[in-house]
Amino acid sequence: DTAVSQTPKYLVTQMGNDKSIKCEQNLGHDTMYWYKQDSKKFLKIMFSYNNKELIINETVPNRFSPKSPDKAHLNLHINSLELGDSAVYFCASSPPTWGAGDSETQYFGPGTRLLVL
Amino acid sequence: GNSVTQMEGPVTLSEEAFLTINCTYTATGYPSLFWYVQYPGEGLQLLLKATKADDKGSNKGFEATYRKETTSFHLEKGSVQVSDSAVYFCALRYSYGKLTFGQGTILTVHP
């Protein structure tokens, strides 16, 4: 009964390649996020979608493009990978602000460990 | 801008020791405050939270009190266990679900 799942768990690739990371949540949440965690464990938000609509877009290179085909999925496509893109990428989701769920709590996936060589 | 500062780690303790991880924040308005925990090889999990001044969040023996006057949300536990070894993140939330995290504090508990 995985709540927030990500694929792949590990991704090793060469500089210049294009890769995608997929995220799915089965919690019925409306809002999904992508975070990047660097080698020093620092976490920073990249994007947020609410009901397939982009609502947060931090200062991220435009090589990174999120796509939300429906509110249960938020994928991250990265073009022309660079060494500095090596990190752990976390997907997260949260309930809507209306309704019974706790909209303030975010539920994180297990992370995708990306290594660019 | 809004920011969160945690005490530098790593923190190494013996089992049953008292734990404090300091967290202070800078924010406009009245954000909600959170502690998240990341066990080795896993994603983050909410540990506890507080949504207004003087609220105390608690879970699994951990506690933190929202102190507006000192802009702090320090995490405490009276007796740590080896299984508490993890990375702890203090965070605040403002605007539409955007979490701002501190830099994380690595805790290692030895038997």
Using the 8-state DSSP alphabet, how is residue A85 labeled? Answer: G
Q: Find out whether the peptide bond into B10 is cis, omega within 30 degrees of 0.
A: yes
Give the model confidence (pLDDT) of A65-111 as tens digits: 999 999 899 999 999 999 999 999 999 998 876 555 566 788 999 99
User: Across the 111 residues of chain B, what is the mean pLDDT of every consecutive 10-residue run?
Assistant: 87 97 90 93 92 94 96 97 96 78 95 94
Which residues in chain B touch residue A94, judged by CB atoms under 8 angstroms apart? 97
The answer for residues whose C-beta is within 8 angstroms of residue B46's C-beta and 6 or more apart is A105, A106, A107, B34, B35, B36
Q: Do B97 and A106 touch (CB under 8 A)?
A: yes
d(CA B100, CA A8): 26
The answer for B 70-89 residues in CB contact with A (under 8 A) is: 87, 89
CA atoms of B45 and B41, how far apart (whole Å): 12
> Which pLDDT score, from 0 to 100, does residue A51 have?
85
State the DSSP string of B27-49. -SS--EEEEEEE-TTS-EEEEEE
Measured between beta carbons, which residues in chain A are less than 8 angstroms from residue B41? Answer: 110
Cα–Cα distance, A2 to A109 (Å, whole number): 9
Query: What's the pLDDT at A53?
Result: 85
CB B72 within 8 A of CB B87: no
Cβ atoms < 10 Å from Cβ of B36:
25
Choose, out of A104, A107, A112, A113, the residue to mutate when testing the contact with B (most B CBs < 10 Å).
A104
Supply the DSSP string of B60-108, one letter for each residue: TTEEEE-BTTTTB--EEESS--GGG-EEEEEEEEETTTEEEE---EEEE
* Chain A with chain B: Cβ pairs closer than 8 A: 61
DSSP per-residue string spanning A46-112: EEEEETTEEEEE-S--TTEEEEEEETTEEEEEE-S--GGG-EEEEEEEE--SSSSS-TT--EE---E
B98 and chain A in contact, CB less than 8 A = yes
